[in-house]
Amino acid sequence: AQKVTQAQTEISVVEKEDVTLDCVYETRDTTYYLFWYKQPPSGELVFLIRRNSFDEQNEISGRYSWNFQKSTSSFNFTITASQVVDSAVYFCAIRPVIQGAQKLVFGQGTRLTINP
Amino acid sequence: DADVTQTPRNRITKTGKRIMLECSQTKGHDRMYWYRQDPGLGLRLIYYSFDVKDINKGEISDGYSVSRQAQAKFSLSLESAIPNQTALYFCATSDERVETQYFGPGTRLLVL
């Protein structure tokens, strides 16, 4: 069985601060995908990134960066110079890379509030 | 226009009523999913379908049924709604090539 833990239920920071959202996962699969989704106050789920387990290279996209460490089963998400528009609930998710396996297992989410 | 649409976006119903939530997609994906979101629990899979003839139960399928009317349409039914089915429901799509699930805007359901 797979499990995703986002220990930070809520985070509140002041605009322009850097903030890191933690994600720790458990899986017995040797290959898997990891995902981050954003859920703004309007409620929709927005895909942010997918990472293959065999690719441990960190990724940066603008103010967003992701640190994948297989040794610690973590896939953390950092927002640099946070903005009010970053306020949302962020979900980390995992699924195995095997044919027919499409179920995404989500963490409980981290509610991020960026204060002006 | 949105690639994945859900109707209705909001619905209030009474205990015991039958209700259907609909999902349509223009992404051309063959795989579709229904999830529910409850506060503090993340999203949980209700049903998924790999193609029109393939329907599979997820982890919380009791009390729900689905219909895949066409590649682009996947409906979720609550045969006899109960209050603990009050939640935010999401439809999602993917295909074998894309590997990523893309979500609709969600349907807020309140069962009184």
Reported as a single tens digit per residue, the pLDDT across A31-74 is 899 999 999 998 899 999 999 888 888 888 899 999 999 999 99
How far is A57 from chain B, CA to nearest CA, in Å?
19
Give the residue on A whose Cα is nearest the Cα of B46: A103
pLDDT one-digit tens code per residue, B37-50: 998 778 999 999 98
What is the predicted pLDDT for the residue at A102?
67
Please identify which residue in the block is written with the tokens 């994600």.
A23
d(CA A89, CA A45): 9
Report CA torsion sign: A87, A72, A32, A5.
negative
* Nearest CB to A50; choose among B90, B100, B106: B100
Render the burial of B64-92: b for 16+ CB within 10 Å, e for the rest: bebebeebbebbbebeebeeebbbbbbbb
Output the pLDDT for position A100.
61
Largest CA-CA distance found in chain B, in angstroms, rounded = 41
**What's the average model confidence in pLDDT over B4-28?**
96
At residue A110, the pLDDT reads 96
The three-class DSSP label of residue A90 is: strand
Confidence check: pLDDT of B2 > 70? no
Please give the pLDDT value at position B1: 59
Distance CA A51, CA A78 (A): 15
Give residue for tokens 């990523």. B100
Chain B residue with Cα closest to A9: B40
State whether B103 and A47 contact (CB < 8 Å). yes
On whether the CB atoms of residues A79 and A70 are closer than 8 A, the answer is no
